[in-house]
């Protein structure tokens, strides 16, 4: 059995306690994880604050910070295989996905390495002739970064990368569900040469770890990825320290297909949008909104694809869909499908867990044409379950797409350019993909609104979110300042 340690102030330790981690593909305990409790969290935050104020980090040039980030990117690329295997083992995410994603994670660090010395202030054309005024962008301070188990190396990169580029320090809480990749990442980070305390990596449970971290008076910003209900607790906790927040939350993203779309291309994109990562993605295209003119042929092709998906061990390169990460996800899917069928939804494919070791669930398609109030249309499954609605007009398609409390991602498939632009303007989502889906880049911002959160990750904006603006006034006149109490 493997044993992992937390990373605080440049050193590794066991933490206040330990807990077991299970392999989702077998259900067997495979590792012991460090459980951070109040004292561990306090130590990590104190270390981050010391590092933030130390000359070794605070006086380091932005260019030097960028070089350290570039070194980190190289180390991640060199260790991508080890990280991918650990993520697959601990989360059940298939190896072909973890390998590809972690290889790309290094590019995110390279992007922010290059951006570190390009975070600029500005000069103001002030309305006073004897004054020069400019704005400085300075690091916001100690950052509490909280990531879920799915895509955790990517979701941490879009927090750690811009935060360190801006000059902040970070306490990262990995998910207690599957923290192994982030704890191994800490070992890689330790080799990059950053001053101790700049990054601290812990994991633990809500009351003794998460709540302490997000309410701590020395935390200046909270970057959270997770579900809306947990995010509400995070925001309440932030009232204790008035930390700013960026929240990347869930989604119930519409995948809209018009009658003029390339059907085969759209089918493949829909398969990727809902069955890739076993549906365990915040941008999963979980609501197919399709023209009734092509609905039957589209669903027939989609059902064939779903039936042909290779389900198997996540560490097998031939596997296309692996297990769910937790039993709770499986139970949620079962309950929501049962309720949706009672509300009139029809199971087109799948619909139940697979009878095999591990937490496997069949790729599922639910036709909700006669079940517009079914819970599968409004609740995030975080699993391979697709809900389908037909439409007759563009206006109807738009209304169905926007009928959600979420607002993260959306996809539109059409050959009509003017229609595409109308949909881009009117879809209430932070991301609109046209004739593609799940495309990402370190250059492009990522995020949503409503129950999908606020703030952006990726791109220049993310780095700016880890800064605060200081206005500097310089009087240029040599004349003495007049006595303010002498009337003239």
Enumerate the active-site residues: 248
∠ Cα 91 353 299 (to 5°): 100
Give 213's contacts (C-beta < 8 A, 6+ positions apart).
41, 44, 45, 144, 146, 171, 173, 219
Tokens of 63: 């260019």
- Closest to 454 measured CA to CA, from 232, 170, 240: 232
The string of DSSP codes covering 188-254 is HHHTTTPPTTSEEEEE--IIIIIHHHHH-TT--EEEEES-HHHHHHHHHHHTTTT-EEEEE-----E
Using CB atoms within 10 Å of the CB of residue 4, give its burial: 0 to 12 exposed, 13 to 18 middle, 19+ buried.
Answer: buried
Phi then psi for residue 319, to 5 deg, are -70, 135
Convert 74-97 to b/e letters by CB count within 10 Å (16 or more is b): ebbbebbeebbbbbbbbbbbbbbb
| The residue to which tokens 């619909």 are assigned | 351
The string of DSSP codes covering 9-58 is TTEEE--SEEEEEE-TTT--EEEEEEE--HHHHHHHHHHHHHHHHSHHHH
Using CB atoms within 10 Å of the CB of residue 416, give its burial: 0 to 12 exposed, 13 to 18 middle, 19+ buried.
Answer: middle
Tokens of 434: 């046209």
Strand, coil or helix: 143: strand
Return d(Cα 460, Cα 137) in angstroms, integer: 13
- Closest to 15 measured CA to CA, from 40, 32, 38: 40
Give 411's contacts (C-beta < 8 A, 6+ positions apart).
253, 254, 255, 256, 269, 273, 285, 432, 433, 434, 436, 437
Contact between 5 and 14 (Cβ < 8 Å): yes
Return d(Cα 324, Cα 24) in angstroms, integer: 7
Bridge partners of 346, per DSSP, are 367
Return d(Cα 456, Cα 447) in angstroms, integer: 5
């Amino acid at each position: 059995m493997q044993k992992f340690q937390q990373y605080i102030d440049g050193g590794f330790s066991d933490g206040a306690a330990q807990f077991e981690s299970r392999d989702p593909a077998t259900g067997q305990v495979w590792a012991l994880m460090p459980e951070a409790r109040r004292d561990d969290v306090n130590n990590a935050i104190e270390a981050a604050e010391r590092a933030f104020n130390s000359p070794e980090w605070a006086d380091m040039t932005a260019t030097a910070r960028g070089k350290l980030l570039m070194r980190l990117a190289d180390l991640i690329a060199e260790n991508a295989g080890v990280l991918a295997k650990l993520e697959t083992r601990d989360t059940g995410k298939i190896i072909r996905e973890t390998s590809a994603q972690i290889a790309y994670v290094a590019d995110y660090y390279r992007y922010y390495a290059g951006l570190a010395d390009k975070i600029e202030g500005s000069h103001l054309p002030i309305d006073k002739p004897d004054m020069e005024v400019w704005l400085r962008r300075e690091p916001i301070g100690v950052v509490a970064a909280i990531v879920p188990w799915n895509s955790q190396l990517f979701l941490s990169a879009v927090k750690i990368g811009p935060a360190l580029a801006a000059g902040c320090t970070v306490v990262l809480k990995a998910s207690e569900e599957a923290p192994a990749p982030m704890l191994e990442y800490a070992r890689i980070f330790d080799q990059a040469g950053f001053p101790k305390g700049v990054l601290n990596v812990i994991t633990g449970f809500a009351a003794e770890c998460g709540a302490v971290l997000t309410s701590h008076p020395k935390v200046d910003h909270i970057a959270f990825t997770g579900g809306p209900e947990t995010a509400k607790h995070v925001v309440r906790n932030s009232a204790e320290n008035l930390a700013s927040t960026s929240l990347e939350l869930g989604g119930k993203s519409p995948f809209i297909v018009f009658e003029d779309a390339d059907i085969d291309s759209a089918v493949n994109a829909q398969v990727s949008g809902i069955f890739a990562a076993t549906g365990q993605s915040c941008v999963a295209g979980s609501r197919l909104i399709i023209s009734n003119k092509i609905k039957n042929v589209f669903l027939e092709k989609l059902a064939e694809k779903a039936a042909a998906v290779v389900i198997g061990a996540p560490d097998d390169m031939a596997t296309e869909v692996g297990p769910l990460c937790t039993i709770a996800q499986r139970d949620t899917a079962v309950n929501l499908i049962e309720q949706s069928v009672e509300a009139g939804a029809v199971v087109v494919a799948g619909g139940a867990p697979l009878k095999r070791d591990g937490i496997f669930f069949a790729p599922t398609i639910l036709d909700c044409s006669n079940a517009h109030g079914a819970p599968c249309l409004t609740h995030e499954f975080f699993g391979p379950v697709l809900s389908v609605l037909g439409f007759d007009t563009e206006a109807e398609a738009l209304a169905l797409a926007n009928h959600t409390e979420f607002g993260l991602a959306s996809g539109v498939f059409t050959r009509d350019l003017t229609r595409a632009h109308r949909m881009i303007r009117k879809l209430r989502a932070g991301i609109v993909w046209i004739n593609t889906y799940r495309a990402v880049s370190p250059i492009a911002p990522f995020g949503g609104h409503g129950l999908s959160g606020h703030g952006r990750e990726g791109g220049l904006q993310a780095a700016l979110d880890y800064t605060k603006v200081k206005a500097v006034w310089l009087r240029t006149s040599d004349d003495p300042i007049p006595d303010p109490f002498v009337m003239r």
